[in-house]
Structure 1
Amino acid sequence: MPSYTVTVATGCQWFAGTDDYIYVTLVGTERCSERTLLDKALYNDFERGAVDSYDVRVGEDLGDIVLVKIEKNKYWVQDDWYCRYITVKTPSGEYLEFPCFRWLVDNKEVVLRDGRAHLPQDDKTSLVKQHRLKELDSRRKSFRQVHSARARVVLCVTEGRGCSLITSAALYRWKEWQPGFPMSIDANRHNELPRDIQFDSEKGVDFVLNYSKAIENLCINQFMHMFQSSWSDFADFERIFVRIKNTISEYVMQHWKEDFMFGYQFLNGCNPVLIQKCTKLPDKFPVTHEMVSVSLERELTLEQEIEAGNIYIVDYEVLDGITANCTDPCTLQYLAAPICLLYKNVRKKIMPIAIQLDQTPGKDNPIFLPTDEQYDWLLAKIWVRSADFQYHQNITHLLRTHLMTEVFAVAMYRQLPAVHPVYKLLIPHIRFTIAINTKAREQLICECGIFDKANATGGGGHVQLIQKAVKSLTYRSLCFPDMIKSRGVDDQEELPTYFYRDDGYKVWEATKSFVSDVVCIYYTSDEMVQGDEEIQAFIKDVCSFGMQDFDHCAFPKSLKSREELTEFLTVAVFTASAQHAAVNFGQYDWCSWIPNAPSTMRKPPPNQKGLANVNLIIESLPDRGRSSWHLGAVWALSQYQENELYLGMYPDEHFTEKPVKAAMEKFRKQLAEINSSIKRRNEGKKLPYYNMSPDQIPNSVAV
């Protein structure tokens, strides 16, 4: 009697094992095996991290094994199980791999294809065609039960073989969380999500718990009872800063008042995406040569400096008209929409030379200059830093990495079956993204959420801000080289210390090369891309549903070539990995010294010069309580996940083909070379830049 050896690997994460009954059915081209209980009787099967083997005996040869069905039935109480993979050894000695990497919950059943990736046009038999169609159908369509959002969809594949394949899945459906936002998943709470995309432990990503823990770890809970009281002076801020310091944060504390530090952050701080070359002064910012001549070092007029490419500008126009936080009626909070003019001096350092705190010029909106009184100039810079913090948190970080990656993730689950090569490529890079975003909507950015406690754009201003920012979010602005070039900052000789740009170019090119290698393995011509109905549906879902077909966004609705597909997938992978890392993990470095990144301001922007002093600045900066919440927040957001997976690390083998594994190894070598070059450059630097170092770039947006 022929016998197949079935090996089952259980996951290593907490609670991955199960005591439930596990059954397997092998589906071949000729016939199916009997439904077989996997049980060694004397052993405790399917423990966490276990790899167990079983014999499945059949009366006749099954033909080529094309599917494996796994069933889980309750033993005593419902006991979820995480299956990593199944391997099957045939009577002829052939080994077949069936990746799973998913949870089986309740009496769930899954049907697995072998580990080779297949385009839809590759599948010829109705058996496998129906399998991929029903897998997608089960993700997109379901009915809701009272106790959960889970769904059950029956997939019957008979083809005269007597096989009844039943699978169940949870819902992946679009939902508009706020008008004008990119779409997100239709779930209000983390525990409503499909089990496969939830965190292994929800406790580890509880924002309230983590922020409270951060405040306790930083020893700043002692200040919470004095929530609305001001600090005494700048040195007083050190009382909540001394617990955890690092090279950069301490350097920022020591030099934050200096103009070179102010300018440097536009290049390599945690929001290095706004600086652009100034080719013409806007009418709303009437800076004259006489105002700034003292700051210019080349004996050129301001107009000549602009023509020479030495003048840069940062404009926070999107903040104009945003409602400041008023959730606490006892404390007024304020926002500004500054414009800042920057000068590249003869040492090629970026220095601020003029600041206007409102978009409309006039007598009550003076242009502040380095030649003004010390505290007038310092307060103007603080207002820019506060505006930069609002822009960074809401637009650069939340909108352009978190929310955009969720769009790619939901569309992927809706349109690409697990056997599709692009699903296998993207799945490591959307790991936990939907979960962290759902948790944020549940606790962080919701009405009366944590964001309201310390931020000037809390209380609804953050919603207004993102709604405005979406109108300038385009597909091309997510392509890293295009984004850099559009701002006129692509010349390395002109800005030799723009490390975000230089490292970003390298990581982008390495990522694009890897994506191209994978794409070309499965698509041997442009016509194959055009004929892939699933990939075209994925692209259309991103544009027409995820981005709501906003005309200004200009996302493609279809792809015509391998080159276009490569670029699109590079955008998805880069946004989820390198771009998020660049703007997230430096938050404690640059924002923990409160005066350098005030989360709110308690006095209105100055409307004339000569009024600022230390007391006014201290009274404008966040009070003790909001400073404490702010510090706890940037510390918590800067922490890596436990057991983090970094760029190039793919321990879950969704791909089994040797050419793809070779492409992965090539990718890792390129990333290692980038690591080495960044390490060499950083040696001896007082301000090392490592936010784009691949060994510190997680695969996905998970925090």
Structure 2
Amino acid sequence: MLSHLIHAVAGDDKGNEEMRPGKMKATVVLMKKNVLDFNDFHASFLDGFHELLGKRVSFQLISTESGDATNGMQGKLGKPAYLEDWNSSESSVVACGESKFSVNFDFDEEIGKPGAVLIKNHHHSEFYLKTVTLEHVPGHGRIHFVCNSWVYPDERYQKPRVFFTNKTYLPQEMPEPLRKYREEEMKALRGNGQGELQEWDRVYDYAYYNDLGDPDKGHEYARPVLGGSTEYPYPRRGRTGRPPSKTGEDPTESRIPLLMSLNIYVPRDERFGHLKMSDFLAYALKSIVQFIIPELQDLTNKTQNEFDSFEDVLKFYYGGVKLPSGPLLDNIVNNLPLEILKEVFRTDGEQLLKFPVPQVIQDSKTAWRTDEEFAREMLAGVNPVIIRLLEEFPPTSKLNPEVYSNQNSAITKEHIEHNLEGLTIEEALRANRLFILDHHDSLMPYLRRINSTTTKTYASRTILLLHNDGTLKPLAIELSLPHLSGDQLGTVSKVYTPAEHGVEGSIWQLAKAYVAVNDSGVHQIISHWLNTHATMEPFVIATNRQLSVVHPIHKLLHPHFRDTMNINAFARQILINGGGILELTVFPAKYAMEMSSLIYKSWNFVDQALPMELKKRGVAVDDDSSPNGLRLLIKDYPYAVDGLEIWFAIKKWVTDYCSFYYKTDEMVRQDPELQAWWKELREEGHGDKKDEPWWSKMQTRKELIDSCTTIIWIASALHAAINFGQYPYAGYLPNRPSISRRFMPEEGTQEYEELESNPDKVFLKTITAQLQTFLGISLIEILSRHSSDEVYLGQRDSKEWTSDETPIAEFHEFGERLSRIEERIVEMNNDKQLKNRVGPVNMPYTLLYPTSEGGLTGKGIPNSVSI
């Protein structure tokens, strides 16, 4: 109706499709705000009305060749040209939500070749500008701009928005008329470090993790500030500038209300796209936080919160489980929107919970309990980055003996030597046949505090033997507690060995469950959150602050930062915050993030490179006779085998790309943006680690290539390997319990008698409770899903991301290498000799299979830490 009214008043110019003399046509692809928010009629109406009043969207070309003497010799600006037919209902639709419009520029010989375009939005609301393409520029042909940015009304900016062509420039190669625009753009992205940031701000800046606690809500929700101290070092997060909490605890930033939890500040271009938001976050995650947690807190310690049998657990996936009754939950269910009921509760009117069947129990309901599968998941499960070679026996501790006294292992040769297939311990060590899953030193410093809550768990060490067929066999599990009389008296440990029958078999199953609880917590807090999400955010911030969008390293890395700041902001708001989902569902509870700070003290960027990480754990050694100079000590190690293929494919691509732009080491040293980027990463982004000697000096092409390869590996393949297997493996909580609520039953106690009479019930009463299970698997199902608009490794969301043909061709070759890796993964998964690739649960290892469809697939490597 509005468009008809406006055309009736202003007239409908049908001649715009034909080029008039002296005109130069551009095609603009964008998404209107009201297309992305169907309820925003207000924006649609006012934007149309502004068009009627002449408040339109203007474009001015900026010359690469001619400077303006009246403006500091910045590139000469052409005359404003305007976006045409904004209100037309006949605008060409080119993709989901995207429309194509025309702009006709006056041709100006003084402008010559345009290198940038200046845009002013005089509408009421913002729009998402995807591309601008100039057709038939005299003497230059087609010129393309990849924009991919939200453009707010011009009044929101101190200076108009400027977008550069897809040409790639090192700083010294930038045409002189464009250099000031390049500098001004980066200055805008850095901001001034002041004030609370608003949604239209484009500022990338650093802050400590001082927003996890909520002292205004009560002392029990206060949490220490992470970052900026030797006690609690941490990577930096994106600054929001919110005021301090009202309690007067000045270091703590105030928190936004829960009902506004999806509106936490990140630069608008870092927010999820509309498809991803509609896929799950707008409903699913928000509904869990707002509606499930209160019920969980109300019922978490009640007997009706227990599973009575494994059949009860299976009902989560086969048939459904009736929600616990109660007026609070009845009120929740009766008042939830239908979309939330469908997405999260999966209710059928009977208040039944039902989830997809996790892969780990699709073929067999019991194979997960075998020792072989327990060990296989250390190599091919959701946390395959902890197991290491055992180099000395018994295992020793690196904890300070002056504080913790003797923390060395109590496992003796009598515990394991009879299971070493005829070898002595010394022979097994020399043959590299003994391995360890060690969750002792990382947990012991916090174990006393952790167990003061409802959690009851142990530090653990698990010793394993490598069979001749490549599989691993657990030999012993050591469970340890701090001495009752104080840390200075050391540890109290008990060792358990494999058993299949009777109460001994039940105790062995419990021992494995305690190990799985530890591994689940370390996986979520360290392997997943700390080592990918948290450590990657400073790279996102520094890259946007110090490398221009036309810089080759910005173009190389930018796809690997997609959505990272957004998902991390959501995590700080509702997942890892005090009283958030992580604390409710993972055993370290309120000490989870504090414990991750302790582990960050030993974080080393150089060791995040896969070959270095494997060698550090002793599972790989240098070997010049191997194709990549590395030999795995466990040949059938699916994560390492597939990971090394991906790693060296990434490195080949990065080497080719960087070598195209940097012909010599001197060019690396003389690049001011690159040097500022690396300096800021060390001194600001990872400022608590700035004095570590392992940081490269960024003086050579090799250092640049190695660093960029590591960044891409962490953001893509490493994150994929430890994230997208969460639901396939841990969606069935008995396989990967995240909490233990009782200690091991002792002989002569009532709990021991119950273990003898009903071992399954004792097992289930020990691990994660029912409502915590529901909350946990609701979350990991969301986190394990690929969005429908995901972009995978070897892909880009724009085919014209650079105008340089050689990098485009090299990137195509990178994609072809990844396709060949996919074929090899399928072949290996079908090879019956490689027993760790499928295992007793008949679950092929596909977590490092590069591509995927949307949804819950258990495969696919997105370009970035995007979920």
TM surpasses 0.5 = yes
Q: CA deviation at 1:336?
A: 2.2
C-alpha change, 1:547 and 1:359, in structure 2 (3 Å) is farther
1:166 maps to none
Give the SS at the match of 1:240: coil
The partner residue of 2:311 within 232, 235, 242 is: 235
**Whole-angstrom CA distance in 1 between matches of 2:86 and 2:183:** 37
Letter in 2 for 1:264: R
Contact 1:207 1:443 (8 Å CA) reproduced: no
2:423 maps to 300
**Whole-angstrom CA distance in 2 between matches of 1:358 and 1:674:** 42
The partner residue of 1:200 within 273, 279, 286 is: 273
C-alpha change, 1:365 and 1:92, in structure 2 (3 Å) is closer
Give the SS at the match of 1:314: strand
2:203 maps to 171
Give the SS at the match of 1:464: helix
C-alpha change, 1:244 and 1:205, in structure 2 (3 Å) is closer
**Whole-angstrom CA distance in 2 between matches of 1:81 and 1:46:** 16
Letter in 2 for 1:669: E
Letter in 1 for 2:77: C
Within the alignment, does 1:689 sit opposite 2:845 as a pair?
A: yes
1:96 maps to 143
- Summarize deviations over 1:279-309 as a string: whole Å, max 9, x none: 1022411322222133221x12122211211
1:633 maps to 779
C-alpha change, 1:519 and 1:69, in structure 2 (3 Å) is same
The partner residue of 1:445 within 565, 576, 587 is: 576
Q: After TM superposition, list the pairs within 5 Å mapping 1:590-629 onto structure 2.
A: 590-605=729-744, 611=752, 613=756, 614=759, 615-629=761-775
Q: After TM superposition, list the pairs within 5 Å mapping 1:442-521 onto structure 2.
A: 442-459=573-590, 461-490=591-620, 494-521=633-660
**Whole-angstrom CA distance in 2 between matches of 1:344 and 1:40:** 70
1:123 maps to 174
**Whole-angstrom CA distance in 1 between matches of 2:491 and 2:572:** 42
C-alpha change, 1:32 and 1:443, in structure 2 (3 Å) is same
1:161 maps to none
Q: CA deviation at 1:56?
A: 1.2
Within the alignment, does 1:37 sit opposite 2:160 as a pair?
A: no
Q: Which runs of 5+ in 2 are unaligned?
A: 1-20, 38-43, 67-75, 210-225, 228-232, 243-260, 319-354, 397-407, 484-489, 622-630, 832-837, 852-859
Q: After TM superposition, list the pairs within 5 Å mapping 1:239-250 onto structure 2.
A: 239-242=315-318, 243-250=355-362
Within the alignment, does 1:15 sit opposite 2:36 as a pair?
A: yes
2:11 maps to none
Give the SS at the match of 1:670: helix
What percent of counterpart residues are identical?
25
Give the SS at the match of 2:366: helix
C-alpha change, 1:246 and 1:69, in structure 2 (3 Å) is same
Q: CA deviation at 1:322?
A: 2.2
1:53 maps to 102
Deviates more, 1:422-431 or 1:618-627: 618-627
Letter in 1 for 2:657: V
Q: After TM superposition, list the pairs within 5 Å mapping 1:365-404 onto structure 2.
A: 365-371=493-499, 373-404=504-535
Within the alignment, does 1:136 sit opposite 2:186 as a pair?
A: yes
Letter in 1 for 2:849: S
Within the alignment, does 1:644 sit opposite 2:756 as a pair?
A: no
Letter in 2 for 1:697: I
Deviates more, 1:134-143 or 1:352-361: 352-361
Letter in 1 for 2:494: P
Give the SS at the match of 1:117: coil
Contact 1:340 1:352 (8 Å CA) reproduced: yes
C-alpha change, 1:208 and 1:449, in structure 2 (3 Å) is farther
1:167 maps to none
Give the SS at the match of 2:379: helix
Letter in 2 for 1:23: S
**Whole-angstrom CA distance in 1 between matches of 2:289 and 2:120:** 45
- Summarize deviations over 1:514-558 as a string: whole Å, max 9, x none: 111111111111110111111111111221111114268555263
Contact 2:26 2:104 (8 Å CA) reproduced: yes
C-alpha change, 1:683 and 1:325, in structure 2 (3 Å) is farther
Q: After TM superposition, list the pairs within 5 Å mapping 1:517-556 onto structure 2.
A: 517-550=656-689, 554=693, 556=695
Contact 2:654 2:709 (8 Å CA) reproduced: yes
Q: CA deviation at 1:562?
A: 1.1
Aligned residues: 675
Contact 1:7 1:87 (8 Å CA) reproduced: yes
Letter in 1 for 2:845: Y
1:5 maps to 25
Letter in 2 for 1:110: R
**Whole-angstrom CA distance in 2 between matches of 1:498 and 1:609:** 42
Q: After TM superposition, list the pairs within 5 Å mapping 1:263-282 onto structure 2.
A: 263-281=375-393, 282=395
Deviates more, 1:89-98 or 1:526-535: 89-98
Letter in 1 for 2:378: F
The partner residue of 1:72 within 92, 99, 121 is: 121
1:586 maps to 725
Give the SS at the match of 1:318: coil
Q: CA deviation at 1:213?
A: 6.7
Q: CA deviation at 1:67?
A: 2.2
Q: Which runs of 5+ in 1 are unaligned?
A: 152-169
Q: CA deviation at 1:395?
A: 0.4
Within the alignment, does 1:81 sit opposite 2:245 as a pair?
A: no
1:154 maps to none
C-alpha change, 1:122 and 1:493, in structure 2 (3 Å) is closer
Contact 1:325 1:334 (8 Å CA) reproduced: no
Q: CA deviation at 1:194?
A: 1.6
**Whole-angstrom CA distance in 1 between matches of 2:652 and 2:204:** 31
**Whole-angstrom CA distance in 1 between matches of 2:660 and 2:58:** 35
Contact 2:32 2:126 (8 Å CA) reproduced: no
TM (norm. structure 1) is 0.89
C-alpha change, 1:309 and 1:414, in structure 2 (3 Å) is same
Q: CA deviation at 1:456?
A: 1.6
Deviates more, 1:354-363 or 1:589-598: 354-363
Contact 2:481 2:491 (8 Å CA) reproduced: no
